[in-house]
Amino acid sequence: MKTFKAAALLSSMDTAERRRFREYITLPLFNREQYVVVLFDLVEPALQQLPDNQAIFSHLYPGQAFNDGRIRYLKAQLYALLRKFIFLKQPGMLFEDVAVFQYFREKKLFDLYEKEQNKQQSDQPDKAPADSAAYLHRYFLAFEWHNFHTQTNRVATVYLDQLNLNLDTFYIIEKLKLACTAFNLRRLYKVQVETSLLEPLLAQLQQQRMY
C-alpha cells in the first residue's frame, strides 16, 4: 500500500492543530466533499494503526462494491486540503509548495520531504518559463531545498547556482518591463523617468547572451 501522506501529516500535528484542521474542512468555502470529513473522522483517532482502503470503503459506503479508486481520490483530496491549510497558516508565504516544504522540514518529515521534492523536480518542464513569477517561485524553492539539504548534512552547492540564476532572471525580467514602462511614459507624456542600472544590465545580457 502506498504511503498515506495525509496520515503522515496528521500524525505530525498536535490535537489542537488537528481540531482546527477539521473545522477548516467543514467550511464550504474550502471543501464541498463531505466524504473527506468522514474520512478524517475515521483515520484521525487511528493514526497509530490505520485501516486499509477496503476497511475505509466499507465504513464510508456500506453495502457497496469496493472501489479502490474512490478511496485514493478521497485520500488525495484530504492531502490537498492539508497542504492548503498549512499554506494559509503562513501568511508571509507566497507559494503553497514552499510553505509545505518548510513545514515538512520543521516537523522533521524527511522521507515525505524528499519524495515530494523528487516528484516536483521530475514534473518540472524542461522549457524555461517566460514569466518572472515562475523564476521567483523557483528561487524560493531552491532556497528551501538548500536549507533542507544543508541541515541534513549534505552538500547543497547545486542549489546556490539555482538561487543565483533564478533570482537574477526574475530581476532582469522585471527591470526590463519597468524600463519599457518608463520609455513609454517618456514618449507619451515627455516626462523624465529614472531607469537606473539599465545600461550595465543590458551590457551583462549581451555579454552572457541571456536572451
In sequence order, which ranges of the chain are alpha helices (DSSP H)?
5-12, 15-25, 34-43, 53-60, 68-88, 96-106, 110-123, 132-151, 157-189, 198-208
Residue predicted with more confidence, 152 or 180: 180
How would residue 82 be classed by pLDDT, with cut points 50, 70 and 90? Answer: very high
Query: pLDDT per residue over 162-209, tens digit each?
Result: 999 999 999 999 999 999 998 888 888 887 777 788 888 888 888 888
What per-residue confidence (pLDDT) applies to 1? 45
Query: pLDDT per residue over 110-143, tens digit each?
Result: 999 999 999 999 988 878 888 999 999 999 999 9
pLDDT beyond 80 at 11:
yes
